[in-house]
Structure 1
Amino acid sequence: MLIKLNWITLRVSNLENSLAFYNGKLGLPIQRRFESRGRQIAMLGIANETKLELIEGSESILKPEAGISIGYEVNSLEEAIEQLKALDIPIVRGPIQPNPHLRFIYITDPDGFEVQLAEHI
Structure 2
Amino acid sequence: MKLLHVTIQTSKFEEEIKFYREFVGLNIQNDLRPMGKEIVFLADGEQETYIEIINNPEAFDAGNKYLSIGFKTQDVEAKREEFEKLGFKPTPIISPLPQVKFFFVKDPAGVNVQFM
- Tell me the TM-score range normalised by the shorter chain: 0.7 to 0.9
CA contact (8 A) 2:10 2:60 kept: no
CA contact (8 A) 1:11 1:62 kept: no
CA distance in 2, matches of 1:48, 1:39: 21
- Separation in structure 1 between the aligned mates of residue 95 and residue 65 of structure 2, nearest angstrom: 23
Q: Give the Å deviation of 1:72.
A: 0.6
2: CA distance between counterparts of 1:73 and 1:86? 20
- Compare the two structures and name the one with the higher strand fraction: 1
- Normalised by the length of structure 2, the TM-score is 0.86
Poorly superposed stretches of 4+, deviation over 4 Å: none
Q: Percent identity?
A: 30
CA–CA distance in 1 between the matches of 2:36 and 2:60?
17
Distance 1:16 1:62 in 2: 15
Partner of 1:75: 74
**CA–CA distance in structure 2, aligned partners of residues 71 and 60 of structure 1:** 22
Which string of whole-angstrom CA distances, capped at 9 and with x for unpartnered residues, describes residues 2-30 of structure 1? Answer: x1111011101121111111112222111
1:40 to partner: Cα distance: 0.5
Pairwise CA RMSD of aligned residues? 2.2
Instruction: Provide the residue aligned with 1:56 in structure 2.
Output: 55
Aligned to 1:89: 88
Which string of whole-angstrom CA distances, capped at 9 and with x for unpartnered residues, describes residues 19-66 of structure 1? 11111222211112104x964011111133211111110233783226
> TM-score, normalised on structure 1?
0.83
Match of 1:21 in 2: 19
CA distance in 2, matches of 1:32, 1:14: 19
**What is the one-letter code of the residue matched to 1:94?**
P
Note the C-alpha offset of 1:97: 0.4
Count the aligned residue pairs. 115
Give SS of 1:65's match.
coil
